[in-house]
Structures are given as C-alpha cells and as structure tokens.
C-alpha cells in the first residue's frame, strides 16, 4: 500500500499574506494539492477610487513592502498613460535605477535568507549564521546597498515618495550619486561571491513545461520598465491588452485570483524573464547563469533561484551603468506636461522581482480615479505552483514524511511568492495513523 498522508503547511505572515499548502495522499495517490490563500482582500483598488491621480503611486506603493518601487512605477506609468504624459529619458533612467535597487533587495533577501538554509541543510538563517557567518553578513551588506539605491532615488528605503506623473519630485545630487557609485564599486566582490555560493547547489528534479510571460522593454533592455507582453507561445500583446495575455479566474480555496495564460498555467518572474530575454542579460549575468548551470528554457521551477542570482548580477551591473549615466549628466529633468487634462484610460506595466505587474486606471475629467485594476505577479504564478506540486509530490511519496513536507515547501519558496517568508511551519498528518482533523498529527519543521 502506498503512502497515505495529509500535509498542511500553515503560515502566518506580517506583511506578505497568509496562505496554506494542503496535500492529501491516499495509498500513494494524490487526492488533493492546493495552495490556499487565506489573506483577506485588501481593497486597494477601491481605495484608489475618487482619489486625485497624483496620489496613486503613493497609495499603491503600500501594497507591498518588498515591491513598493515596482508598484510606484506601474502606478505612475498608468497615470501617465491616462493623462497623456510622456516622461523624459532621464526620468525613465532614474526610475530604472530605483527598480535595480528593489530587484537587488528582493532577490538577495530571498536567495540568502529563505533559500540558502534549504540549500545548505540548515533549518533557518540563524544556524546558517553560526556555520557560515560570512554568508549572512554578505547578505546584510548587499541588502544595505540595495536600500541605499532606493533611498538615493526614491527618498525612502521603501515606499518611494518621489514619483510624480511626468517626472520625479526629487533628483539626487552629484554628491549623493558619487557616494552611491562608491558603494556599488565596493560591492562587486559580494556580487561575485553570491554567484559562487549557489553554483554547487543541487536542486530537486522536476520538469513541467508552462507558458512564460514577461513585459519586454521596447528599447531592447532587459525586461524591467515594461513594454509589450511576450509569451513563450510566441504571441505578443500590447500592454493595454493585458487581459488577453493573463486571464484571471476564481478558485474556491484561494482569496487570491488565479491566472491562466493562452492554454494553461503561467510562469512569471525571474525564470520567465531569463527564458524570454536571456540574450538581454548583461554579459556578466549571462556568464553567471552559465556557471550556475541555468539553461534558458529550463522547465524546472527550482531553477527560479538560479535565475534570481543571475538577475542579481544583472541588476547590480545596471545600477553601476545607470549611476554612471546620471553622473555624466546630473542636471534634473523637467516634468513633462499633461496633454490630456480630461483624463482617460491608462495601463502601466513593469517587471518587479516576482514578475509582471499591471496597474490599469480610468481617470475622470476632474482628475480623479474612477476605476482601478491591479494584477499582481504572485497571483499569476499560483496556478503554476499548484500544477508543479501536483506533478512533484507523486514523485516523492516514498520519502519520509518530513522530507515530503520539506520538499513541498521548497517548491513553493522557489517561486518567491509574497507569502514565501512564512512558509516554514509544516504539519504532517498520516491518514492511516487514524489521526483526526487536519492540524493535529505529526509536526515537522524543516
């Protein structure tokens, strides 16, 4: 008789959402495998209604403490599209620099604090700090560097306050940019060591193909500031037609909508971007990907971490280049004027660490927001996470129950969902042991 087990991963988190993993096995057969999102709706779209358009970036950056720069970026781009405002090239450059800071911060937090303990066989970052203090202190240095980028551009370490339609409310001076450039130069060894650290990590085997989606910048740069939505199916959608590329739907076990693509699950985020735009990576990032063993087009979702490490290198190299470009021409850029004062519809898309972020607004003739829709990357990945788990769990049912639970958590973490930081407490219930309701039974903590 095969394994009979119920695995429930309950997690409570302070910022990024609440979710549970539920896996039921009976006689080695998978009966249920869900990722329950139990976070209450937060109603940000409703909060935007009737607010002046200038407030949108400052309100929506509060959606996420990790992706606040991305929300400000998508939001201000949606406002600009609706109001007929076209920011100048230096404004886009400054905003892109801020996004590199956010990517660095988010990826470093994920690969060092959440994935590294799994990769190096410790239960959390605390015992890792005991055995490898050099690794954890390096992560702290890189996180501080990322914070410094965001502070220099956005006026705050998180939740920037400088984003305005057509421009930026604050422009860093030469001294600030020079200080940032010096910090970037000092960090190169830490970036190289980050790649070295993950080159030897053996990931679990899992191959499941899925459509990948990313908004590719029209200027040929690595996807970050947004552009048409490119699917691995070969289809390309204008940003304003995002509903044709990502189809939202409801599932009973999740307070978050799920999203499907052209013919099934979607993957967005680092792995999707590397798949769709590998040739746009900075040469050093491409070399890092090669050293890591990251093959463009890989269908193993555990390779998200490698993709994040490669993107960490890319974000760092872009930050260096963008800071140099700003130093070469440091004069602030004037805000672009509004050409459509009576408002209209506008869609803003950008790539945040976890994937493609969409903000879609209708702004009325009085300059107030009539309607808002935000499509968040984690919701785009949820169906893919579940499909991966349904493919993966049957391949590991002969493992000890603690290992099944641990590997299931690792798979969810690989996607770096906003709930990932709290996916750490696992309860395993074996039905054939006669244990009653879910929540009792053997508790394992990886």
Residues that bind another protein (CB under 8 A): 14-15, 65, 109, 125-126, 129-130, 133, 136-137, 140-141, 143-144, 147, 151, 156-159, 175-176, 178-179
Least Å from the CB of residue 124 to another protein? 8
54/178 with CB nearer another protein: 178
Cβ-based nearer residue to another protein, 65 or 394: 65
Task: Find, among 79, 308, 309, 348, the residue nearest to 194 by Cα.
Answer: 309
Choose among 76, 97, 137: nearest CA to 336: 76
Q: Which residues contact 55 (CB under 8 A, 6 or more apart)?
A: none
Q: Which residues contact 283 (CB under 8 A, 6 or more apart)?
A: none
Least Å from the CB of residue 1 to another protein? 41
Measured from the CB of residue 108, what is the shortest distance to another protein in angstroms? Answer: 11
Residue closer to another protein, measured from CB, 140 or 241: 140
Element (H, E) at 160: none
Among residues 308, 445, 348, the alpha carbon closest in space to that of 9 is found at 445
User: What is d(CA 209, CA 188) in angstroms, rounded to the nearest whole number?
Assistant: 35
Smallest gap from residue 157 Cβ to another protein (A): 6
**In the complex with another protein, which residue's Cβ is closer, 155 or 344?**
155
- How far apart are CB 162 and another protein at their closest, in Å? 14
DSSP 62-84: GG-SSSHHHHHHHHHHHHHHHHT
Considering the complex, what minimum distance in angstroms separates the CB of residue 175 from another protein? Answer: 5
Rounded CA-CA distance 62/156 in Å is 13
Q: How far is the CB of 147 from another protein (least distance, A)?
A: 7
Comparison of 74 and 136: residue with beta carbon closer to another protein: 136
Whole-Å CA distances, 179 to 91, 194, 320 = 20, 23, 12
Residue nearer to another protein on the CB measure, 46 or 140: 140
DSSP state of 163: E
Tokens of 248: 């939202």
For residue 220, which phi and psi values (nearest 5 degrees)? Answer: 90, 0
Residue 187: CB minimum distance to another protein, A: 13
Measured from the CB atom, the residue of 125 and 255 that comes closer to another protein is 125
Helices (H) and strands (E) in the chain, counts: 15, 16
**What is residue 192's three-state secondary structure?**
helix
Between 175 and 331, whose beta carbon lies closer to another protein? Answer: 175
């Amino acid at each position: 008789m095969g394994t009979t087990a119920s695995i429930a991963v309950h997690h409570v988190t302070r910022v990024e959402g609440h979710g549970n993993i539920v896996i039921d096995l009976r006689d080695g057969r998978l009966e249920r495998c869900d990722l329950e999102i139990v976070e209450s709706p937060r109603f940000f779209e409703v909060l935007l209604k009737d607010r002046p358009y200038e407030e949108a970036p400052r309100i929506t950056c509060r959606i996420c403490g990790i992706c606040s720069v991305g929300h400000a970026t998508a939001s201000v781009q949606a406002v600009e599209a609706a109001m007929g405002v076209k920011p100048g090239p230096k404004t886009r450059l400054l905003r892109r620099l801020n996004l590199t800071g956010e990517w660095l911060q988010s990826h470093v937090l994920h690969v060092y604090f959440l994935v590294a303990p799994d990769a190096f066989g410790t239960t959390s970052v605390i015992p890792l700090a005991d055995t490898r203090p050099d690794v954890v202190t390096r992560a702290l240095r890189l996180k501080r560097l990322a914070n410094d980028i965001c502070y220099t551009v956005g006026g705050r370490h998180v939740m920037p306050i400088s984003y305005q339609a057509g421009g930026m409310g604050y422009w860093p001076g030469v001294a600030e940019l020079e200080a940032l450039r010096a910090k970037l130069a000092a960090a190169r060894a830490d970036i190289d060591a980050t790649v070295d650290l993950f080159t030897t990590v053996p990931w679990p085997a899992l191959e499941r193909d899925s459509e990948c989606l990313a908004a590719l910048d029209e200027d040929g740069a690595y996807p970050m500031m947004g552009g048409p939505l490119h699917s691995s199916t070969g289809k390309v959608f204008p940003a304003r037609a995002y509903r044709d590329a990502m189809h939202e739907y409801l599932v009973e076990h999740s307070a978050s909508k799920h999203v499907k693509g052209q013919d099934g699950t979607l993957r967005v985020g680092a792995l999707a971007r590397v798949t769709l735009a590998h040739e746009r990576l900075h040469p050093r990032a491409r070399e890092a990907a090669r050293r890591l063993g990251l093959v463009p087009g890989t269908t193993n979702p555990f390779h998200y971490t490698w993709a994040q490490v490669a993107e960490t290198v890319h974000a760092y190299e872009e930050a260096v280049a963008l800071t140099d470009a700003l130093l070469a021409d440091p004069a602030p850029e004037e805000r672009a004027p509004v050409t459509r004062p009576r408002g209209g519809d506008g869609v803003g898309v950008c790539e945040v660490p976890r994937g493609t972020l969409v903000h879609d607004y209708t702004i009325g003739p009085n300059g107030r927001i009539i309607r808002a829709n935000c499509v968040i990357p984690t919701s785009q990945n949820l169906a893919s996470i579940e499909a991966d788990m349904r493919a993966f769990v049957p391949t590991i049912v002969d493992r000890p129950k603690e290992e099944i639970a641990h590997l299931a958590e690792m798979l969810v973490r690989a996607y770096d969902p906003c709930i990932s930081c709290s996916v750490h407490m696992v309860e395993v219930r074996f039905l054939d042991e006669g244990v009653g309701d879910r929540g009792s039974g053997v508790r394992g903590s990886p």
